[in-house]
Chain A
Amino acid sequence: MTDRQTLLRDLIVLLGLIGWALVLPHYGSEFAVSMALTCLMYVALSSSWGLFCGSTRYLSLATSAFFGIGAYTTAIGLGQLAWIEVITLGSAVAALLAIVMGAAVLHLRGTYFAVLTFGMAELIRHAISYFEKSVSGTVGRVLTVVPEMNVLYMTVLSIAVVALVLSILIRRTRFGLALLGIGADEQRAQTLGVNTPLIKVLGFAITAAVAGAVGAAMAVRWTYIDPHTAFNPFIGFQTVLIALIGGATTLWGPLIAAIVFSVLAETLRLQAPQIYMMSLGLLLILSVLYLPGGLASMRWETFRDWYRAAKAWLKERRYELSGDKERDKQRARRRRSV
C-alpha cells in the first residue's frame, strides 16, 4: 500500500468509527453508552500515549497525573468557566506540567524514566492531598453544576477523535519521523540533526494535553472528587497496558485494545472483579510472549504460524509419548554397538 492509500484507509476507518459512536446514544441503552464512554476515554488516553511513548520508547507512567490535573481543573473551575473553557484549561495546565516535568526527566531513559514519572505522579497526588487537608481544609470537592450525559459523551468523543487524528497526521510529518528516530537510536538521530530535547518535550506535552482534556471531561462523571480518585494510578497503568497489548507503535492497536478492554471490564467487573484484574495480567503476559507487536500486528499469517507451531509441538509430544523416540534411540545404540 502506498502512503496515500494508507492515509485514505485510516481516514475511512476513522469516519466509520465516528459515525458508529455518534449514533450509539440513539439506540443503545444507558449501560451501552456508559461503556462506550469508558471505551472512548481509553481510546483517547492510550492512543495519545502511544503517539509519544510508543514511537520514542519512553515508557511514561505519568498519565494519571495529567488526568488528575485535568480533573482537578474542572473541579475548581467549572462554577466560573464555560464547559469548553474548562476542558481547554485542563489540557493546557496538563501540557504545561508536562513541559516542566519533561525538561526535568526526559534526559533519562528506560526504567529510570518510567520510575521517575511514576514518582512524580505520586508526588503530585500527595502534594494535592496535603494542600486539600492543610491549606483549604477540605478532603475533596463536590461538583454541583454538571453538564448532561450527552454533552459529556460528545466531548469525550471529540477528544478521542482529536487524539486519533493527531496520531494519523503526526506519523506523516517530520515531527513524527523525529519521534521514531529517537525511539530507534536517539544519539544517531541527534547527529543527523534532530533537536531531540525539544522534540521529546513537545511530544510529551501533546500526550499530556490529551490526557488533561480527558481528565477534565471525565471529572464530571464522579460528582465528588478527591485526590485519590482523580489521581488514581490505575488509570495510568491501564492506559499503558492497553497501549502495549494493542501495539504501542501502531495506530489502531490502542483503539482495538481499548474496545476489548472496556467490554471485558464492564462484563467482568460487576460479576467477578478479581477475574477482571487477573485477565488483564494474563493478556499482557500472553501478548508480550506471543504477540510482541500487539493485537494490531495480528495477520492471517500470525494464526497460520501459531497453527503450525502448535502442530509441530503436538507431533513432537506424540513422538515422545508413544515411545517412538525411546525405540529410535535404542535402535541407534544397537547399530553403533554392532
Chain B
Amino acid sequence: MRFGGLTAVDQVSVDFYAGELVGIIGPNGAGKTTFFNTISGVLRPTSGRLLLAGKNLTGQRPHRYAQQGLARTFQTPRVFTDISVLSNIEFGLKFAGRRRKRYWFWGDETSVPWALRDAGGILSLIGLAQVAQLPAAAITPSQQRLLEIGMALATRPKMLLLDEVAAGLTEGELEEMARLITRLRDELDLVVVWIEHAVGTLLRYVDRVIVLHQGQKIADGKPIDIIHDRVVIEAYLGDEVLELGQDLR
C-alpha cells in the first residue's frame, strides 16, 4: 500500500485460518491500521491480492467485502449516534447480514449461529441488552466500543477485524473485552484479527501474533516465541516483556 511516495505497508503476506485469534502489534505508525484498511477494502491496495475462502476480493468495493463475511471495527467508535443501540445493530442485519429470501415459508436460518440470528441475540452476546433503547450517543465510550463489535457481528461475518477495540478501557474492562473476543472466536467460530497496544493482555489471549514495524512484517508466530525474538524486542517490545513469559503458553 503506497500513498504517493510513502510506502505504508510493504509486502506483508499473511494467512489466517478458521477459528484462529490473531493479534497484530507494532509501534505507532507501523502500518497496522493501514494494513486493516487494505484488507477490509476501505483502501484499494496498490499491489497484492486478497483471497477470502478462495474468492478474490482485490479491488472490490467495501460493501462486497462486508457481504462476503469480512467485518471490521474502527479505531474510534463510529456508531450511528442519532439512532438507538438496537437500530445500530439492525443496520448491519439489514444490509450485509441480510438473509436472502429464496422462497415463501423460508424456515429458520440454520446456517447462522443462534446468537447472530436477530438483534436481541447480538445485544445479549455483547452485553448491551439493557441499553438497547437508548440512543447510541447516550451510552458510555466503552459501551460504544462494544456496540462497534456488535454492529460488525450483525453483518454475520466469517472474519472479524478489530482495530484497537480496547483503547482507553480500564484494566478490568480490558480483561472483559479479551474474554468476549475469545468467546466470539469459540462460540461463533470466527477468525478474529485483533490490533491492540495493550501487549500484555493481547499476548495472553491470542493464538498467534504478527509484528509490524515500519510497514513490514518482522515476526509471525506464537506469543511465547515472539517475546524471545531479538528483532521484535529491539524494534518494539523492549526487554521487560520477558517477564510476561511465565503467563504465556
A-B contact count (CB 8 A): 62
Q: Is A192 an interface residue (CB 8 A)?
A: yes
- Let me know if A178 and B95 touch, CB within 8 A: yes
B61 touching A181, Cβ below 8 Å: no
Taking CB atoms, residues of chain A closer than 8 Å to B152 are 191
Complex CA distance for A194 and B79, rounded to whole angstroms: 15
Interface of B is mostly: loop
Residue-wise, chain A 181-198 has the 8 Å CB interface mask toward B (1 for contact) of 100110111111111110
B40-84 vs A: 1/0 string, CB under 8 Å? 111000000000000000000111011100011010001111110
Contact count band on B: 20 to 34
Q: Does B228 sit at the interface, judged by CB under 8 A?
A: no
Beta-carbon contact of A197 and B61 below 8 Å: yes
Contact partner, B65, options A174, A178, A187, A191, Cβ 8 Å: A191
User: Is the CB–CB distance between A193 and B80 below 8 Å?
Assistant: no
In the complex, A202 has a CB within 8 A of chain B: no
State whether B42 touches A187 (Cβ < 8 A). yes
Is A177 in contact with chain B by the CB < 8 A criterion?
yes
Minimal beta-carbon separation of A202 from chain B (angstroms): 14
- Chain B residue numbers with a CB within 8 Å of A189 are 91, 95
B22 in the interface (beta carbon within 8 A): no
CB within 8 Å of B: which of A156-184?
174, 177-178, 180-181, 184
- Chain B hits for A177, CB < 8 A: 91, 94
Q: Which residue on B lies nearest to A199, using beta carbons?
A: B63
Contacts of B80 in A (CB 8 A): 180-181, 184-185, 188
The 3 tightest CB contacts between A and B, nearest first, are A193-B96, A193-B95, A193-B66
Interface residues of A (CB under 8 A from B): 174, 177-178, 180-181, 184-185, 187-197
Which B residues form the contact surface with A (CB < 8 A)? 40-42, 61-63, 65-67, 71-72, 74, 78-83, 91-92, 94-98, 151-152, 154-155
